Amino acid sequence: MSHASISSSFVTAFGKLSANSDDYVPDIVRLILSEARKGRASDVHLVPSESALMMQWRVDGVLHAVAGFDRELATRIIARLKVISGLLTYRTDVPQEGRVAREYSPTEVRVTTFPTLHGEKAAIRMFAENDQLQRLGQLGLPDTVRSRLLEHLGATAGVILLTGPSGSGKTTTVYACLREIIAQSGGSRCIMTLEDPIEVAVDGATQSQVRPSAGFDLATGLRSLMRQDPDVILVGEIRDPQTAEAAFQAALTGHLVLTTFHAGSAAEALTRLLDMQIEPYLLRSGLRSVICQRLLRRRCEHCGSPPRTEPGLNEKCEKVAEGSDKFRLAETPGSTCGHCGSTGYSGRMVLAEMLDPDLPEIARGILQRTDARQLATLAESAGMETLQQAAGKAIAAGLTSHEEVLRVLGSLK
Ligand SMILES: [Zn+2]
């Protein structure tokens, strides 16, 4: 491989396309989708500027400039993408959402467009393949968290809360938990889900997609679901007090409830639920465990040292856009490593902290509506390994870098 940057394979394939072909633009779009999937991108951004259409890929949670297409191609590429996603090509003044038809992509791909100063921007979300069966053991959770979580998954009642900011891998963990329960129970437990949207089809679970516009939202759906005699319920995400209340009621009536919740730490998740008017006693008796997680990029085993700083993405894009001749490569100068696209990182690992609401100090803290900071201190003194401590261990073990921890956690105490 001559160029070992993230974009190298795309550049090579792009160079082979014939600009005179009638299928030139369809071929470019096909190539964008197939190469992004090959490059493990979770999202592709096509961003119009005055002089070019910039393409960026999010790989392992970080956005990389990949290429700049000539301005003249910009509207045609976006229009083609809209055609295969069933969007209205003549409407360029309103945001639109669609999914790429299966004949153009073997896996689930969603496209959203958004009108901007220089034309429509498109964001493409690439969903993982269904056969990517990730079990808990493959996530890289800390041993103590994994073994405790496995115990909790065997329980018959209570809420298991997976928390973290967006992009922290909560959904991946929740699906892994679901597969673990299915494997453990061997079909002896009725497992149902309520999701918005269903991101991955899981064999052995009965999955439902809510339709809020038809009055079938998470909260009302959950109440109806109770009459379906489930043992285990996955609620995609708690976003409002009604869903939170319904989830805790389900837990108290003998159901194991798995769900995700947006919060920066395990302690913050507790106080945010209290802020949603969940009664402290309900939280105290319904909650089985709170896990808060982050994803860190793993250090590449082959080239070892990641770059100390990521060059400014915008600066890099501008450079690519300048004097753009149909297409220019946004490459990282310097060392070349084919294993990680010269980013210094390959794959990701989960950092996690697990708060046990049954600890007497925590239980008391919940009932007294203690604030997040105080709860975190209580949990730490009761022996909880915090995200910060787990990050320190990961750096010491050479699994990731100090820079990466700073990027994800903001600081390292
Ligand atoms: Zn490498």
Going by pLDDT thresholds of 50, 70 and 90, the confidence category of residue 33 is: very high
CA 395–ligand 1 middle distance (angstroms): 17
pLDDT tens, position by position, 312-370: 544 544 444 444 444 444 444 445 787 887 788 888 889 999 999 989 999 999 999 99
At the top level of CATH, the class of 8-127+307-338 is alpha beta
The pLDDT > 90 percentage for the chain reads: 67
pLDDT score at 317: 42
| 330 touches 320 (CB < 8 A) | yes
Please spell the DSSP secondary structure of 208-271, one letter per residue.
EE-BGGGTB-HHHHHHHHGGG--SEEEEEEE-SHHHHHHHHHHHHTT-EEEEEEE-SSHHHHHH
Q: Is the pLDDT of residue 1 over 50?
A: no
Going by pLDDT thresholds of 50, 70 and 90, the confidence category of residue 150 is: very high
CA 3–ligand 1 middle distance (angstroms): 13
Burial class (CB in 10 A: 0-12, 13-18, 19+), 258: buried
The pLDDT > 70 percentage for the chain reads: 90
CA 297–ligand 1 middle distance (angstroms): 12
pLDDT score at 332: 46
DSSP 219: H
Considering the segment(s) 136-297+348-409 as one domain, its CATH architecture is 3-Layer(aba) Sandwich (3.40)
CA 337–ligand 1 middle distance (angstroms): 5
Average predicted confidence (pLDDT) for the chain = 87
Whole-angstrom distance, CA of residue 202 vs CA of residue 206: 8
- CATH 3.40.50.300 positions along the chain are 136-297+348-409
Q: Is the pLDDT of residue 282 over 80?
A: yes
CA 339–ligand 1 middle distance (angstroms): 5
- Which residues surround the ion ligand 1 when the cut-off is CB under 5 Å? 300, 302-303, 337, 339-340
Going by pLDDT thresholds of 50, 70 and 90, the confidence category of residue 304 is: low
pLDDT score at 2: 34
Q: How distant is the alpha carbon of residue 292 from its chain centre?
A: 14
CA 200–ligand 1 middle distance (angstroms): 30
CA 335–ligand 1 middle distance (angstroms): 9
CA 309–ligand 1 middle distance (angstroms): 15
CA 56–ligand 1 middle distance (angstroms): 20
Q: Is the pLDDT of residue 195 over 60?
A: yes
| H-assigned helices in 308-398 | 313-321, 360-367, 372-381, 387-396
CA 76–ligand 1 middle distance (angstroms): 35
- CATH 3.30.450.90 positions along the chain are 8-127+307-338
CA 299–ligand 1 middle distance (angstroms): 8
pLDDT tens, position by position, 47-80: 999 999 999 999 888 899 999 999 999 999 999 9
pLDDT tens, position by position, 101-149: 989 988 889 999 999 999 999 999 998 664 455 788 888 888 899 999 9
Most confident of 4-8, 237-241, 392-396: 237-241
CA 336–ligand 1 middle distance (angstroms): 8
